[in-house]
Amino acid sequence: MKIPRILIGAGSSGSGKTLITCGILQALVNRNKKVASFKCGPDYIDPMFHSKVIGTASRNLDTFFSGEEITRYLLQKNAAECEIAVLEGVMGYYDGVAGTTTQASAYDLARITGTPAVLIVNSRGMSVSLAAYIRGFLEYRSDSQIRAVIFNQMSPMLYPRMKKLVEDELGVRVLGYVPKVEDCVIESRHLGLVLPEEIPALQERLNRLAEILEKTLDMEGLLQLAEEAGELKEIPELSRISKDFTYRLPRPLRIGIADDEAFCFFYADNLDLLREMGAQLIPFSPVRDRTLPEELDGLLLYGGYPELNGAALEKNETMRESVRGRIQAGMPCMAECGGFMYLHEEMEDMDGVFRRMAGVIPGKVYRTGSLKRFGYIHLKDEKCGAYDQAPAHEFHYFESENCGTDLYAAKPSGSRGWACMHRTDTLFAGFPHLYYYGKPSVARQFLESCLTYHNRRKKKEV
């Protein structure tokens, strides 16, 4: 399949990848281009900004989660109808799993998908040294995939000279520069960038940035580079990778999914796979709705910022009682990170106040002030093959008195790991975030338990 595409990478975090990616996406949308966007790695928040620009869900591409074949499949599936796909890198261009490999790095994604990469170079405080810096990235891997560079925070007076120097000495295209744009900065906090809804006049900022980039970037050069991307390798049917991909419910089931300012971290492909298997996802708000929707067969509580909404979640006592009552009555529930925190008896919020939560899991969640567990893991489960070796990711500044001991989280390198997760026939809850395309039996196991609950509930009604 031929998909015009580019990857926007950088030498390190904080180099302006997300801001520049969003500005390029907005410029393409303003040109009436049909755009698909992707984020390399497990990040939830950057895709939210992409989605605000392009008007449809941005996706994650993560080679740790899904391997090479499924990663290429997801790129083809989600970019099939677009005119150009823009992939945003993660951290530094070569930074991958365990901090010592290139696996799951931006480079790894560019290599596996054959995507031309554009390196964002933070030029603050450098001139000729930029050439040495760029050469290092070009030559660190012979198949670096880096085809062009963009200078960030560069003055318009210096740019023509640096463009000539880099192109003459390194033979790599320079496709423009980004001046300092203070009024377009996106603020950060403990889990990364603030949410798009929290930024005043975000659309105005993005359009202002797009106008600047139309003047300072070679947009035609970017489009030409995207056209130079080769055809993607043919991949086998997913059923050959895992028969769980072919699972379909015998009847549609109604699955409640928490979706509001407190619970907003979703992998769009997770939701798509659940729908393909027969789930009808019914959104609700633990912050604003009084109770759970009626006739639910299962419950999904994903991550987000419950710690920023502790007072509102505590105040909504009828919702907390509804969640506790349905789960204790046997309704299946998958809860991860923020959703797991919500199921506890108490949770400390960002103001240091312990708030009453749903009360399904005994104990408290408390703030640590620093990252206690960070990065990729494999879940190990000796009793249930559906979860064993599921790839997952943790990133949280909170800890639980009762993390669970039913599974084990193993780091992908070395011997480090820890007990985690509460797993019963109907409850699967813990800090790890899971990606179902990496282990589709997780989605199947959940929906099969929902089907059992549905049948038992309907039998009682008769």
Among residues 337, 403, 420, 450, which one is catalytic? 337
Tokens of 5: 């595409």
Q: How far apart are CA 78 and CA 59, in angstroms?
A: 8
Q: b/e map of 388-410 (b: 16 or more CB within 10 Å)? A: bebbbbbbbbbbbeebbebbbbb
Tokens of 324: 């506790």
β-sheet bridge partners, residue 400: 365
Note whether 1 and 76 are within 8 A (CB): yes
* SS3 state at 257: strand
Q: Any idea of the CA torsion for 338, 340, 342, 343, to the nearest 10 degrees?
A: 170
Note whether 397 and 385 are within 8 A (CB): no
Is the backbone of residue 98 left (phi > 0), alpha (psi -120 to 50) or beta? left
DSSP secondary structure code for residue 117 in this structure: E
Q: How far apart are CA 42 and CA 434, in angstroms?
A: 10
Beta strands in 179-244 (DSSP E): 188-189, 192-193
Neighbours of 61 (CB within 10 A): 27
**Residue indicated by tokens 């480090």:** 416
Q: Which of 44, 40, 62, 65 is nearest to 379 (CA)?
A: 65
As a three-state string, the secondary structure of 315-377 is HCHHHHHHHHHHHHCCCCEEEECHHHHHCEEEEECCCCCEEECCCCEEEEEEECCCCCEEEEE
**Residue indicated by tokens 């797993």:** 423
Dmax (CA) of the chain: 80
> Does the active-site annotation cover 337?
yes
β-sheet bridge partners, residue 9: 119
Q: How far apart are CA 152 and CA 2, in angstroms?
A: 30
Q: Which residues are catalytic?
A: 337
